[in-house]
Amino acid sequence: MWLSDGRRAVRARVGDRRSARGRRGEKGPGVTVQPIAGEPARRRRPHRSGGALALLLGSMLLLVTACGGDEADGGKASGKAGSDRAASQAEVAIAPKDGADGVATSGALEVTAKRGRLKSVKVTDPKGNAVAGKISGGGASWRPSGHLGASTEYTVDAVAVDAKGREAAEHAKFTTLVPKNTFIGQYSPENGQQVGIGMPVSIRFSRGITHPEAVEDAIKVTAEPSVPIAGHWFGNDRLDFRPEKYWAAGTRITVRLDLDGVEGRPGVYGTQAKTVAFTIGRSQVSTVDARTKMMTVVRDGKKIKSIPITSGAPGTETYNGQMVISEKHPVTRMNGDTVGFGGQYDIKDVPHAMRLSTSGTFIHGNYWSGRDAFGTRNASHGCVGLFDVRGGGDASTPAAWFFDHSQIGDVVIVKNAHDETIQPDNGFGDWNLSWEKWTAGR
pLDDT in tens, 258-310: 999 999 999 999 999 999 999 999 999 999 999 999 999 999 999 999 999 99
pLDDT in tens, 2-58: 444 444 443 434 344 444 344 444 444 443 444 444 444 444 444 444 444 444 344
pLDDT of residue 105: 98
Residue at a domain's end among 259, 280, 301:
280
Residue 156: which CATH number? 2.60.40.3780
Is 67 among the residues known to form the active site? Answer: no
**Do residues 306 and 428 both lie within one domain?**
yes
**Do residues 276 and 288 both lie within one domain?**
no
Q: Write the burial class of residue 143 (CB in 10 Å: 0-12 exposed, 13-18 middle, 19+ buried).
A: middle
Structural domain total, the chain: 3
**Do residues 411 and 377 both lie within one domain?**
yes
Identify whether 230 is part of a domain: yes
Of the listed 232, 352, 381, 383, which one is catalytic? 383
pLDDT of residue 342: 67
**Do residues 372 and 400 both lie within one domain?**
yes
**Do residues 225 and 301 both lie within one domain?**
no
Predicted confidence (pLDDT) at residue 198 exceeds the cutoff of 90: yes
pLDDT of residue 335: 80
Average pLDDT over residues 66-91: 54
Asked if residue 91 lies in contact with residue 116, where contact means CB atoms within 8 angstroms, the answer is: yes
Residue 370: which CATH number? 2.40.440.10
**Do residues 295 and 408 both lie within one domain?**
yes
Predicted confidence (pLDDT) at residue 373 exceeds the cutoff of 80: yes
Distance of CA 378 to the CA centre of its chain: 52
Identify whether 418 is part of a domain: yes
259 is in which domain, residue-wise? 181-280
Of the listed 232, 352, 364, 381, which one is catalytic? 364
pLDDT of residue 347: 87
Identify whether 67 is part of a domain: no
**Do residues 337 and 423 both lie within one domain?**
yes
- In 3D space, the residue among 382, 383, 404 whose CA is nearest the CA of residue 392 turns out to be 404
Predicted confidence (pLDDT) at residue 346 exceeds the cutoff of 90: no
Identify whether 415 is part of a domain: yes
Residue at a domain's end among 280, 306, 322:
280
Beta-carbon contacts of 441 under 8 Å, excluding residues fewer than 6 positions away, are: 232, 233
* Global model pTM greater than 0.85: no
**Do residues 326 and 276 both lie within one domain?**
no
Residue at a domain's end among 125, 145, 176:
176
Range in 71-75, 130-134, 356-360 with the lowest mean pLDDT: 71-75
Identify whether 83 is part of a domain: no
Identify whether 389 is part of a domain: yes
pLDDT of residue 338: 66
Phi-psi label, residue 277: left if phi above 0, alpha if psi -120 to 50, beta otherwise: beta
**Do residues 153 and 290 both lie within one domain?**
no
- In 3D space, the residue among 264, 303, 269 whose CA is nearest the CA of residue 151 turns out to be 269
Is 364 among the residues known to form the active site? Answer: yes
**Do residues 131 and 117 both lie within one domain?**
yes
What is the maximum span of the chain, computed from C-alpha positions, in angstroms?
A: 162
Beta bridge partners of 253: 223, 278
**Do residues 164 and 224 both lie within one domain?**
no
Predicted confidence (pLDDT) at residue 95 exceeds the cutoff of 90: yes
Task: Give CA–CA dist 380/243, Å, rounded.
Answer: 33
**Do residues 301 and 408 both lie within one domain?**
yes
Instruction: With cut-offs at 50, 70 and 90, classify the pLDDT of residue 226.
Output: very high
Beta-carbon contacts of 273 under 8 Å, excluding residues fewer than 6 positions away, are: 149, 257, 258, 259, 260
Task: Give CA–CA dist 194/409, Å, rounded.
Answer: 9
Residue 227: which CATH number? 2.60.40.3710
Predicted confidence (pLDDT) at residue 336 exceeds the cutoff of 90: no
Identify whether 423 is part of a domain: yes
The residue type at 437: K
Task: Give CA–CA dist 382/347, Å, rounded.
Answer: 15
Average pLDDT over residues 383-411: 97
Identify whether 62 is part of a domain: no
